[in-house]
Structure 1
Amino acid sequence: MSTDFSRRGLLGAFAATLVTAAPTYTQAAGFLRGSGDIRRYRASNPRTGEKIDIIYWIDGDYVKDALKEVNWFMRDWRRNEAIAIDNRTIDIMAAVHRLTGTTEAYTLLSGYRSPQTNNGLRSKSRGVARNSLHMKGQAADLRLTSRSVAQVAKAAQSCRAGGVGRYYGSNFVHMDCGDVRTWRG
């Protein structure tokens, strides 16, 4: 009987640990709570000269028209193609921005990339993944000039909501809503 109790106790403790330790998308959204029930995305794109400063979530709902603007802003500028950017990616970017404590807009270096653009970049750089989440609208490469790569990456990692790549030489941080992982580029 004590063996059965111990086994149940261990299994229960193990299951509770898995639930607690499992990285979830909701952790990124949790960092956004208390922000007046709004979520905002601010960025500039040096390639297109465009800027965006938009509230895309209000009182528990995404604003469809605002998301369409984010999708277009984060398009593959080389081919002028846009897809739906994963809302989780947008939430991660907003959470990280809030955690860095700056009002400076992100500089967007890369959002969505078409397969053709991704393949072209892969042929020139070994740092471009064959199955990049950029091609699914699930990743962004961002810079904040007022914060170091380490500071932005640390904020992104604290969300435990996706991948975080540190690119010190190019001065940007990759954020995505894929598996939780980190790397240096």
Structure 2
Amino acid sequence: MTDTVSGGFTRRALLGAFAATAVTAAPTFANAAGFLRGGGDIRRIKMYSGRTGERIDMIYWIEGDYIADAIKEVHHFMRDWRTDDVKYIDLRTIDIMAAAHNMLDVSEPYMLLSGYRSPQTNAMLRSRSSGVAKNSLHLKGQAADLRLNSRSVSQMARAAAACQAGGVGRYSGSNFVHMDCGPVRVWGG
């Protein structure tokens, strides 16, 4: 008999999620798409924002199901901090970020530099830098700019590129990596 708790998760899945918060486990998920092979049966995202002081460390996917409340928190966390606008963040981008983080084998959370960008913020950034795309995937909630102090831009970019699931930009001069769920491509140095 399987006990189901609210939200449709089995008691076993819920207990597994709580256990995973205490112990970092990385079981393999052999039938997953290539970029999710490092994801395991549980997917976790760990980030902090130097701009807002906020932190998240949560399991957002268990045994094939996204956890709606966790995803909602990720959307809010990755909002445009300048305007406080929240946008749906494409789940593929979150999966790429989590898989790359898992491949890097670090406990340090990502520092989120930029997630969703409102049109106003993107226009302001474009006026200050030629490196900001007019039709940036940040505008669609499909990109993130991330940093890890314990890993180089090159290491992070290699992990993200190994996912073969989207765009990876190396910004060594600014010490961050862009990850998105757009077409597979790499750029930067």
- TM-score bin, normalised by smaller chain: 0.7 to 0.9
The CA deviation at 1:29 is 2.1
Query: Which of 28, 33, 55 is 1:26 aligned to?
Result: 33
* Residue 146 of structure 2 corresponds to residue 139 of structure 1: no
- Matched with 2:160 is 156
- Residues 89-128 of structure 1 mapped to structure 2, 5 A cutoff: 89-128=93-132
Secondary structure at 1:169 match in 2? helix
Alpha-carbon displacement from aligned partner over 1:16-74 (angstroms, at most 9, x marks no partner):
xxxxxxxxx93222331xx3x11000000000000000110011100000000000000
> Which runs of 5 or more residues in structure 2 are unaligned?
1-31
Count the aligned residue pairs: 158
The CA deviation at 1:144 is 0.6
Distance in 1 (CA, whole Å) between partners of 2:35 and 2:96 is 5
CA contact under 8 A between 1:75 and 1:113: conserved in structure 2?
A: yes
Distance in 1 (CA, whole Å) between partners of 2:185 and 2:123 is 23
Distance in 2 (CA, whole Å) between partners of 1:85 and 1:29 is 18
* Identical positions, percent: 65
Aligned amino acid, residue 139 of structure 1: A
- Matched with 1:167 is 171
* Residue 73 of structure 2 corresponds to residue 83 of structure 1: no
Secondary structure at 1:121 match in 2? helix
The CA deviation at 1:130 is 0.4
- Matched with 1:56 is 60
The alignment's C-alpha RMSD in Å is 1.1
Q: Which has the higher contact order (CA 8 A, sep 6+)?
A: 1
Distance in 2 (CA, whole Å) between partners of 1:180 and 1:159 is 9
- Matched with 1:43 is 47
